[in-house]
Amino acid sequence: MGNKALIESGNVVLGLELGSTRIKAVLIDETHAPIAMGTHNWENRLENNIWTYSLDDIWNGLQSCYKSLAEDVKAKYDVSLTQIGSIGFSGMMHGYMAFNAAGELLVPFRTWRNTMTEEACKELTPLLHF
C-alpha cells in the first residue's frame, strides 16, 4: 500500500515531541519510516523567576505544528490528513507539569532552565538515601 493510501485509510502513526525550542510532529508508516513532518518553533520565557511556557503556548504550538504536518502531507501526497491510527507524545526530559484532580495546573510548566531545586535536594537526598 502506498503512502497516500495509508494516509487515506488512517493506517499511520503520529508522533509529537514537545522539545525545548521546537514542537515536532512526524507521521510514520507501518515500517516506522517517516513520511511527513511538521514543526513549530517556540521559546520558554522567564516569568516570576521561573522559565516556563504557558498553556496557551502549548495548545497554540501543538495546533501550529499539526497544521504544518497537514500541509506537508497535502504537498507530498495531495491528500488531506483526516484520521490517524495512533498517536504518541514525548515531552522534555527535564521539564514537568503538575496538575490537580480537576486538571488545573498547580505550578507553571517548569523547564530544564530552572535551577530552584537546591532546597528540595538537600531535604530529599538524605530522606531517600540517595
* Residue 38 grid cell: 511538521
The model's pTM: 0.84
Beta bridge partners of 89: 16
CB of 35 within 8 A of CB of 5? Answer: no
Distance between CA 64 and CA 84 in Å, rounded?
18
Closest CA to 12 of 32, 28, 31: 28
Burial class (CB in 10 A: 0-12, 13-18, 19+), 111: middle
* Model confidence at 117: pLDDT above 80: no
| 25 vs 105: which has the higher pLDDT | 25
- Span between the terminal Cα atoms of the chain, in Å: 53
* Model confidence at 81: pLDDT above 80: yes
Distance between CA 44 and CA 103 in Å, rounded?
22
Mean pLDDT score, 58-85: 97
* Model confidence at 95: pLDDT above 90: no
Contacts of 126 (CB under 8 A, 6+ apart): none
